Structure 1
């Protein structure tokens, strides 16, 4: 049969094809509607602005037409052929001989026989034609098959290197004869990490959502996400980095917190600080870090302040971490975790206290960020407060008072109490925070030590009434000192209440950092 070129087709402005109108129309319902039964010898021209897959895919579709409806449909071209058949309405409403649309749809059902690299190639093409891949169901089928194979990766694994997705020998098999050999060829649980780097962030997000719904190992998922982020950053632009980070953070947020490495989260945070990601993603990252504050180190928290700030370290960020930790159940559920975080924050406060630009409101917010029960001793905080007051000698009496009154002197050692009672940097003795009670506490602690000393060293036998009476008098003295301390505490509370109410009537107190 003679072939003429009486139809000119401009495909997306990329390339112009000269084809036989009769041959192509016999398979394309779209062109048949356009030209009908016209036998006009004049050359016609058609311009397609949105042909899926571009010129290369039009050429592939043309081969199908010129080969009398015969073509090998495989994972590398199935989506292109399907999209072309759908666009050109190749449902054989005219020729009635071969339906390309139906042929590609039937090939979708053979996906369970595809190799692992076949799946990766198909998925990569799904990224290029995502709307069609989604509507056709191919994307869902590919992801479903891929996740299913990952689920059995502990029992079966690729028998060829994963470095080349196009390796034809790279297959997954579940038959009993090959399982053992597959196990021998696969030694790492993360064999699939490198393979999935070809997928876009959006597709990775869809894949991870499916893996989570199928109860995949959260530890392995989190490790993959950190690997994906690091690998993608080598060649990505700033905008691409932001996209990758947002997807990775969103997916990590769906995982069990204990499955995520705190160290890796801080690694992502360091990157986030230099990029502009969405506020919601940043909040999610801070929430995840806050929930694991007991796993953090001092070096993790010493994050430089934002550009343009005068203070050295980002205290506001640490306060948000602590807020996230409290809301995560740390207050009630785990006293041990609370104490661990308190020890870390004490170190942090001591580190930031010498900063001359750190505002008293921020310093105070750090002091009161954790409940009193989190600390057995306030000695470290007292030393940090002493340093802060020394560096910030220009603070007003009111500012000093607020810092002073945050101190729980009941949990100070005797030595710290004695030092505090003589510390000129703290508010004067005629202020509401007088330290007569501190001196009394020091005496009480000393008396208690003597009681312990006597009870530990003296052999109190039944006939030694003199020693028994002496020890009893010592214990009475301790009781009396305790009464005096309580009375002084009550008086001090009343004085402070009256002072604060009078000051608040004059002017409002500054708003503290939450």
Structure 2
């Protein structure tokens, strides 16, 4: 947490120095930087970003550059990176939707813990596409766990069980616990599916509204506000061009006696 002593820097911490150090380490030879050291540096970078993200003067380019330095395989879990991104979005509410999605693309939703996935699914600061991606990833994890549990349970009850390698028989309590776990996982999958369907419905409604607006605009259908403005403009333009009292009197006589005026003209 080295403070910035440069007059040109606007951040409280010297982010440029940490960025140079991280890039220097990543560019070292494979023999010098072992896998364990690279994982420690990636974790250190995520913790540093979570602290530096509080600074309102930290730009998006600086945050993105430092978060992109560690390779994807250096992070066993992306919970630290998600925490840093969420902190940055909280401290910088003016970030556009495109930039929010660009930041969320740094996160691998498959590497999020169940707690982080649950928080991301309820996080209003994340774009809708990122939330849907997290929900689908969590649903795939649950489906895989259900298949694994079902396979192990069906293998335990297989009629050819005696021909296979003998294994330890599960107790009744363990079987009940597995059945309860499978039931809980199925309920979680149904809940995530309902969340996904609700989000897809909201997206479809927004697309329909946008499509309807474009159709109205394409065919030039006037809106109620346009009709009202045109009516007000017509009322305001009444009397324009009547510059002399004689012209005004002629206009009034024409309005009161339209038939007589036509006869006189004929």
Cα deviation for residue 330 of structure 1 reads: 4.8
Q: Does 1:438 align with 2:134?
A: yes
Partners of 1:351 and 1:405 in 2: how far apart? 21
The one-character-per-residue Cα deviations of 1:229-256 (angstroms, maximum 9, x if unpaired) are: xxxxxxxxxxxxxxxxxxxxxxxxxxxx
Q: How does 1:225-240 map to 2 (within 5 A)?
A: none
Is 1:405–2:105 an aligned residue pair?
A: yes
1:389 matched to 2:85? The reply is no
CA contact (8 A) 2:109 2:133 kept: no
Contact 2:117–2:135, Cα closer than 8 Å, also in 1? yes
Which structure's relative contact order is higher, taking Cα pairs within 8 Å and 6+ residues apart?
2
Matched, 1:327 2:27: yes
Contact 2:121–2:131 (CA under 8 A) maintained in structure 1? yes
Are 2:80 and 1:380 equivalent residues in the alignment?
A: yes
Residue 304 of structure 1 corresponds to 3
Judge conservation of contact 2:82–2:107 (CA < 8 Å) in 1: yes
Q: How does 1:56-71 map to 2 (within 5 A)?
A: none
Shift of residue 449 of structure 1? 3.1
Q: Deviations over 1:43-65 (max 9, x none)?
A: xxxxxxxxxxxxxxxxxxxxxxx
SS in 2 for 1:424: coil
| Counterpart for residue 114 of structure 2 | 414
Q: Contact 1:315–1:362 (CA<8 Å) still a contact in 2?
A: yes
Per the alignment, residue 450 of structure 1 pairs with 146
Structure 1 gaps of 5+ residues are 1-301, 482-514
Give, in whole Å, the separation in 1 of the partners of 2:152 and 2:55.
46
Which whole-Å CA distance do the structure 2 matches of 1:356 and 1:343 have between them?
23
Provide, for residues 245-290 of structure 1, a one-character-per-residue CA deviation record: whole Å limited to 9, x for no partner.
xxxxxxxxxxxxxxxxxxxxxxxxxxxxxxxxxxxxxxxxxxxxxx
Q: CA deviation at 1:434?
A: 4.7
1:370 Cα deviation from its structure 2 partner: 0.8
Flag the 1:434–1:303 CA change in 2: closer, same or farther, 3 A.
closer
Give the number of equivalent residue pairs: 167
- Aligned twin of 2:203: none
What residue is the counterpart of 1:201 in the other structure?
none
- Whose radius of gyration is greater, 1 or 2? 1
* Residue 358 of structure 1: aligned partner: 58
Aligned positions of 1:38-57 closer than 5 A: none
Matched, 1:340 2:36: no
Within-5 A mapping of 1:212-361? 302-308=1-7, 309-330=9-30, 334-361=34-61
Is 1:354–1:388's contact at 8 Å kept on the other side of the alignment?
yes
1:512 alignment partner in structure 2: none
What secondary structure sits across from 2:27 in the alignment?
A: helix
> Which residue among 364, 367, 374 is the counterpart of 2:67?
367
User: Contact between 2:104 and 2:130, CA under 8 Å: does it hold in 1?
Assistant: no
Aligned to 1:264: none
After superposition, what is the alpha-carbon deviation per residue over 1:120-139, rounded to whole angstroms, capped at 9, x for unaligned? Answer: xxxxxxxxxxxxxxxxxxxx
Q: Unaligned stretches of 5+ in structure 2? A: 162-174, 190-266
Deviation at 1:348, TM superposition (A): 1.1
Gap change, CA 1:412 and 1:304, over 3 Å in 2: same
8 Å CA contact retained: 2:78, 2:107 = yes
- In the alignment, the residues of structure 1 paired with residue 152 and residue 53 of structure 2 have an alpha-carbon distance, to the nearest angstrom, of 41
Judged with a 3 Å threshold, the aligned counterparts in structure 2 of structure 1 residues 370 and 420 are, in CA distance, closer, same or farther, namely: same
Q: For the structure 1 residues 331 and 423, does the alpha-carbon distance in structure 2 shift closer, same or farther, using more than 3 Å as the test?
A: farther
Q: Secondary structure at the match of 1:329?
A: coil
CA RMSD of aligned residues (A): 3.4
Residue 157 (structure 1) aligns with: none
CA contact (8 A) 1:330 1:338 kept: no
Q: State the SS of the aligned residue for 2:28.
A: helix
| 8 Å CA contact 2:26, 2:69 repeated in 1 | no
- Cα distance in structure 2, aligned partners of 1:396 and 1:436: 19
